Amino acid sequence: MRVCIVGVGAIGGTIGYAMAKAGFEVSGLARGLTLSALTARGLGFSDDGGEPAFLPIRASDDARDLGVQDLVVLAVKEPSLTAAVGTLKPLLGPDTLILPAMNGVPWWYFHGFGGKLVGRHLESIDPEGRIASAIPAESVIGAVVHFGASCPRPGVVKALPLRKLILGELHGRMTERLEGLGAAMEKGGIQITLSGVIQRDVWYKLWGNMTMNPLSALTGATMDRILDDPIVADFCGKVMNEARRVGAGIGCPIEQTVEDRFAVTRQLGAFKTSMLQDVESRRPVELDALLGAAVEIAGLLGEPVPHMNILLGLARLQARTLGLYPQA
Domains and CATH numbers, the chain: 2-196 (3.40.50.720), 200-321 (1.10.1040.10)
pLDDT at 140: 98
Q: What is the pTM of this model?
A: 0.94
167 DSSP β-pair partners: 143, 194
Instruction: Return d(Cα 236, Cα 250) in angstroms, integer.
Output: 21
The answer to whether 151 touches 157, Cβ cutoff 8 Å, is: yes
Buried b (16+ CB within 10 A) or exposed e, 257-289: ebeebbeebeeeeeeebbbbbbbeeeebbbbbb
Q: Are 75 and 43 in contact (CB under 8 A)?
A: no
Catalytic amino acids?
A: 205
- Residue 32 phi/psi, 5-degree rounding, is 60, -140
Contact assessment for residue 290 and residue 104, using Cβ atoms and an 8 Å cutoff: yes
Dihedral Cα 218, 220, 226, 228, nearest 10 deg: -140
Q: What are phi and psi of 192, to 5 degrees?
A: -115, 135
Question: Could you state, in chain order, the average pLDDT of each consecutive group of 10 residues for the chain (328 residues)?
Answer: 96 95 96 96 89 94 97 94 93 97 95 90 93 94 91 90 92 97 95 97 95 97 97 98 97 95 91 91 95 98 98 98 94
Biggest CA pair distance of the chain: 54
Of 51, 124, 120, which is closest to residue 289 (Cα–Cα)?
124
Distance CA 302, CA 222 (A): 33
Q: Who contacts 94 (Cβ-Cβ below 8 Å, separation ≥6)?
A: none
pLDDT of amino acid 148: 80
Instruction: Look up residue 70 and give its DSSP letter.
Output: S
d(CA 139, CA 41): 32
